[in-house]
Structure 1
Amino acid sequence: MKFMSIEIGNKVEGKITGITHFGAFIELPGGKTGLVHISEVADGYVENIKDVLTVGETVTVKVLKIADDGKIALSIRKAVDKPESERPKPRPQGKPSSSGGRRQQTSQGSFEDKMDRFLKDSDERLSTLRKQTDSKRGGKNTKR
């Protein structure tokens, strides 16, 4: 096994020493241990991490973060080099789109359509909740 220093951004090989419902513990070179959170195991949704990883397996991980207390955050999915065509495109956050400030419509409708559906659903839920709580408050033995 080739030894690389454990620094943020480095890829290293490690051995899975334990698996929990939230991630897997990886023994790194130099005797250090890091954690791969379940969200960093694969690109898709992982319901049960034991379906993907096994104790004793050797994996390549990328060092994401080293906390002040020595905890090391790792990623298996980010350690895999993918061709440019397979990489997910980053989503713009809070930036206007290139269509002059108007958002492009998706197959499920525009933002305004989605917001209208959300507001309608929310109003229906609130109405149902109010009816249920009012009927509980207005019973025969209630003092007013």
Structure 2
Amino acid sequence: MSIEAGSKLQGKVTGITHFGAFVELPEGKTGLVHISEVADHYVKDINELLKVGDEVTVKVVNVENDGKIGLSIRKAIDKPVEEKRPPRPSRPSQSDSPRPNRQSGGFRGGSKPRVTPSFEDKMSRFLKDSEERLTTIKRQTESKRGGRGAKRG
């Protein structure tokens, strides 16, 4: 039985490092399970999940030309097929929703026409709001420093 990518095998943990675990496979070959392939969740310390001598089921992820074998424990576990999401509710047709009437600039369906402010109106509103905010910030800052006319000595 040759070891090929995609096959599931039984193996025995022979060594543990900070980056993964070495697993002895059939035919005496050894592969590495990287720490990110041990579980579906974040694994800070691999020693919490595996011990030397543990029997594990692994899936062969890759076999490199130099003989290194990449393994995964989390991919070897068959997960139940997730249910598909229910279909999204359909949108109402265009005739049901009020859409802008490009010719008149208003809305269909008896709603009040909306007046879009001009650029100048938007700019003057922005400047007014900015001045109000700056004034508020200056007042708060001056009160913390001792206000106007406070003598420094």
Q: Same fold (TM over 0.5)?
A: yes
Does residue 41 (structure 1) correspond to residue 38 (structure 2)? The answer is yes
Structure 2: stretches of 5+ with no match in the other structure: 84-153
Mapped partners of 1:60, 1:53: distance in 2: 12
Which of the numbers 31, 49, 58 marks the counterpart of 1:61?
58
Aligned length: 83
**Once the two structures are aligned, what percentage of the paired residues are identical?**
70
Q: Which amino acid counterpart does residue 10 of structure 1 have in structure 2?
A: S
Deviation at 1:29, TM superposition (A): 0.1
Q: Of 10, 20, 24, which residue of structure 2 is paired with 1:23?
A: 20
- Equivalent of residue 85 in structure 1, options 49, 71, 82: 82
Alignment of 1:58-137 (within 5 A): 58-85=55-82
Unaligned runs of 5+ in 1: 87-144
Letter matched to residue 18 of structure 1: G
- Larger helix proportion of the pair: 1
Q: Offset at 1:5?
A: 3.0
Which structure has the greater CA radius of gyration? 2
1:104-131 Cα shifts (integer Å, max 9, x gaps): xxxxxxxxxxxxxxxxxxxxxxxxxxxx
Letter in 1 for 2:49: V
CA RMSD of aligned residues (A): 1.1
Q: CA deviation at 1:85?
A: 1.6
* CA distance in structure 2 between the aligned counterparts of 1:41 and 1:5, rounded to whole angstroms: 23
Secondary structure, counterpart of 2:75 in structure 1: helix
**Moved runs in structure 1, 4+ residues, more than 2 A?**
none
TM (normalized to structure 2)? 0.53
**2:4 equivalent to 1:7:** yes
